[in-house]
Chains A and B, each alone.
Chain A
Amino acid sequence: MKADDFRTEAENQWCPGCPNFGILAALRAALEVLDRRPEQLCLVSGIGQAAKAPHYIRANFFNGLHGRALPVALAVCAANPDLTTVVETGDGDCYGEGGNHFLHTVRRNPDLTLIVHDNQIYGLTKGQASPTTDVGDRTRLQFGGVESEPLKPLAIALMHGCGFIARGYAGDIPHLTDMIVRAIRHRGFSLVDVVQPCISWGTHAVGWYQERLYKLSPDYDPSDLRSASEKVLEWKERIPIGVIYQSKESKACFGDRFRSETGCRKLSDLGFPSKEAVGKILEQFRV
């Protein structure tokens, strides 16, 4: 299928010119490269402008509650590993409201791809600080400037064993497409944090980002944990984009143990136990 075949007729609710459109284009292009069909896909999202993305991609989707996309997606992975599960979320949705789920989903290593539209601001609620807003930035709520240290999601992911960590830029669609393709191909939990300047409420202009962004050099070895641990913290002066870390080891994914021990892949295939099977189990309680 072509990228354009993933378009839907739903009316787009984003601001005209929003870099979200770049992320959307990259995701559609990635799906073409990956040769997935809409029915093989499951997009999961929470609430926020980024979380509306599934409405603009032809695919199965579950657009749930604010912050709660990851637990829904985790269970989809457990129930049906044949679906390609992608979570579309923003910095507020994923790192703020859903921060606890982010931490624990990294630990579980489900085979899903998390794309965070990270614009460092709350857009839909009109300009409050997000967990990734930089210290000192003035917002429509933090009038004196943000005082709290920004969350470092890539570092958190790296520290907790995430096997694929990339940063993309919404303004570089071919590069971002490549990041998403590689993230989806990676078996296990993959994080793509996307720099996405907010043109309505952002604390930095687009130019601020463009001056700082640079692509990791071809010599950079993403399997080297040591250099990755430096790159995940790099921000402000220079901002690296590319695959920052990809583990060479293949780690067990969420549900692998269950699937190997029970011989069951899709939970819905198990159906109902027979009355005989139920009776047999209940015999254990006969004294």
Chain B
Amino acid sequence: MTELGILLCGAAGQGVQTIGSILARIALKSGLCAFAWQDNESRIRGGSNGYSVRISDTVRNAPLDEFDVLLPLDAKSRLKYLPFLKPDGVLLGGDGREGRGMAIDFASISVQKAGNQLYSNAVALGALAAVLGFDGDTVHASVSEEFAGKSADLAQKNVELALDGFHLALETCRGLCTPKVTKRNELRYLISGADACALGAWAAGCRFMAAYPMSPSTGVITALSRMENELRVFTEQAEDEIAAVNMAVGASYAGVRSMTATSGGGFALMVETLSLSGMTETPLVVVLAQRPGPATGLPTRTEQGDLLFAVHSGHGEFPKAVLAPSDAKEIFHAMARAFDLAERYQMPVIVLTDQLLMDSMYTLDDFDLGRIRNESHYANPSGIQESKRYRFTESGISPMIRPGAGPNLTCCDSDEHDEDGHITENLELRTRMVEKRLRKGKALRSEIASPELYRIFDSEIALVSWGSSRNAVAEAADQMRKRGMKAGMIHFEEVWPLPQFNFPAVPSLVSVEGNATGQLEGLVRAEYGVTFSESVRRFDGLPFDAGFILRRLAP
């Protein structure tokens, strides 16, 4: 086996996501890798949701577009997702009318064993695990772990029903299904983008987070709140996004690394305060988890539609940085980068992510903790002789102390101000203050990371991308190479300011973006004076997979 694509589907409330994440856990416990992503409708019950798991020998954290096994929990989902099953794929469950795969009635087994249909998903999971060749002990352990912390009875029932499904499938489906996993001995991490984001922030010294719930960003504050006593991060659910971002600014002013997280609509409400952070030179980190807009758009799906919004957010002129990490490991480290830049340059930093990265489960070999370099950029209060929060300096960066840290005061103003932080209408001073703030942007720009150049050295075609699509784009480049095309990738993870580097002279540039208008393409054209020969754009709410890109570029 090199890899298997499994698609679980059902109505919201049927527990598709639960068994999907247990399946990923089973795969990891069996020494394999899993990448799990979801395709949800914005509703609490009903509808038709898909949860996909890519199981492989080595780490492959990118979505697929066709599947070896389809496991539907209801008829509606079966019809919706059947087209994604490979011609030789296995349909597990259903009534057998499609004439392929195994008809197992999970619901009736649940009723028979537990008296109700609530455990249909557990039965289905057990059956699936058996069909794929996983062992019963691993199923047992994985289900128990998933329900740890819930009621003992609930955990026990789920384990029992999963094992019932497991044994039933062992008896009825033996030899019917060809895809099989091979157990290995590897220990890896399985983590969602949201958890990695939250823990990356904590590892970087974030001690305060306020947010207003909004998909797909809510997982970040949830993770910190869930682990509050262990992590000691103060979390608060704000009354709205304006309050959330102002709380983050307030805690930051008080000397604490602070952040908020939201999606496009909430970010729109925060934008005035982003400008406040720029003017008052208060460090601020905002996680912007994109979903398709405009307005409410598709709340539970993904898009890369807010790059220009993030880059241009905030009235007036002030420096800011926008980072666009590619996966769970990179967002973990991007948070440290964001807090460091925000504090060093005393400005807002936006971490631009999306539903794909937030909600997906990634397998990581390691976290590279050696990359963490935490350093405080506050001035030593005893070395400060005056209360000049906005002292003119060559770099534009003024010494910053925490209020209360010494006899000198920290006075910040959203009006144009003098060096002491007091309102001014002195227009000469105003001009100097604008120049001071913008001077910080020069050094900032010089340290922005160059894009990743993947297999570029002999490339005739380069896919230009940013953010969470990285792994799918790299995979597309690999597959294009297999088909004889000299393809590579130029992938940006620090998108604003654009890095100063020599743009490689590749004959053909193709922009690959999860939006309709080619937002990075426009920025890159203007900045580096290059031209693009083609573009692949996706804005149907689903993430890129290599197949989608290949169908466009190498049909």
Evaluate contact between A71 and B250: CB separation under 8 angstroms. Answer: yes
A272-287 CB contact bits vs B (8 Å, 1 = yes)? 1101001101100111
Task: From A75, A100, A103, A262, name the one whose CB has the most chain B CB atoms within 10 angstroms.
Answer: A75
* A39 lies within 8 A of B407 (CB): yes
Contacts of A82 in B (CB 8 A): 404
CB of A154, distance to nearest CB on chain B (Å) = 20
Q: Which residues of A contact B238 (CB under 8 A)?
A: 71, 104
Interface size counted on chain B using CB atoms at 8 A: 68
Partner of A68 from the list B234, B273, B374, B412 (CB cut-off 8 Å) is B273
What is the distance, in angstroms, from A123's C-beta to the closest C-beta of chain B?
Answer: 16
B276 an interface residue at 8 Å Cβ cutoff?
Answer: yes
Q: Cβ of A275 and Cβ of B372 under 8 Å apart?
A: yes
Contact A270 B207 (CB under 8 A): yes
Interface residues in A41-68 by Cβ distance below 8 A to B read 42, 44, 47, 52, 54-55, 58-65, 68
Q: Are B412 and A287 in contact (CB under 8 A)?
A: no
Query: What CA separation (Å) do A61 and B414 show in the bound complex?
Result: 11
Query: Chain B residues near A71 (CB, 8 Å)?
Result: 210, 238, 242-244, 246-247, 250
Supposing A60-B410, A79-B208 touch, asked if A39 and B404 sit within 8 A by C-beta, the answer is: yes
Tell me if A16 counts as interface (CB < 8 A to partner B): no
* A to B contact number (C-beta, < 8 Å): 194
A100:B409 contact, CB within 8 angstroms: no
- Within the assembled complex, what's the spacing in Å between the Cα atoms of A141 and B189? 62
Chain A: number of interface residues, binned into ranges: 35 or more
* Residues 243-257 of B at the A interface (beta carbon under 8 Å): 243-244, 246-251, 253-256
**When A61-B412, A79-B255, A285-B190 are in contact, do A273 and B205 touch as well, CB less than 8 Å?**
yes
CB-based contact B232/A83 at 8 Å: no
Given A78, A79, A273, which contacts B202 in the complex, CB threshold below 8 Å? A273
Q: Is the Cβ of A65 less than 8 Å from the Cβ of B246?
A: yes
A72 within 8 A of B: yes
Contacting pair A74 B272 (CB below 8 A): no
**Is A231's CB within 8 Å of the partner chain B?**
no
Known: A65-B272, A101-B239. A287 touches B28 (CB 8 A): yes
Q: How long is the Cα–Cα vector from A82 to B404 in the complex, in angstroms? A: 8
Cβ–Cβ < 8 Å partners of B232 in chain A: 262, 264, 270
A247 to B212, CA, bound (A): 31
Closest A residue by C-beta to B235: A258
Jot down 30 A-B pairs with beta carbons below 8 A, ordered by A: A8-B422, A10-B420, A39-B406, A47-B414, A55-B423, A59-B409, A60-B404, A60-B411, A61-B411, A61-B412, A62-B250, A64-B276, A75-B208, A75-B246, A76-B250, A79-B250, A79-B256, A80-B403, A82-B404, A100-B239, A100-B243, A101-B239, A103-B239, A261-B229, A267-B254, A268-B255, A272-B204, A273-B231, A278-B199, A281-B199
Given pairs A78-B247, A278-B369, 4 additional interface contacts (CB within 8 A): A54-B411, A59-B409, A63-B415, A78-B236
* Contacts from A to B (Cβ < 8 Å): 8, 10, 13, 38-40, 42, 44, 47, 52, 54-55, 58-65, 68, 70-76, 78-80, 82-83, 100-101, 103-104, 255, 258, 261-262, 264, 267-268, 270-273, 275, 278-279, 281-282, 285-287
Which 6 A-B residue pairs are closest in the complex by CB-CB distance? A75-B250, A72-B250, A79-B254, A60-B403, A287-B28, A71-B246
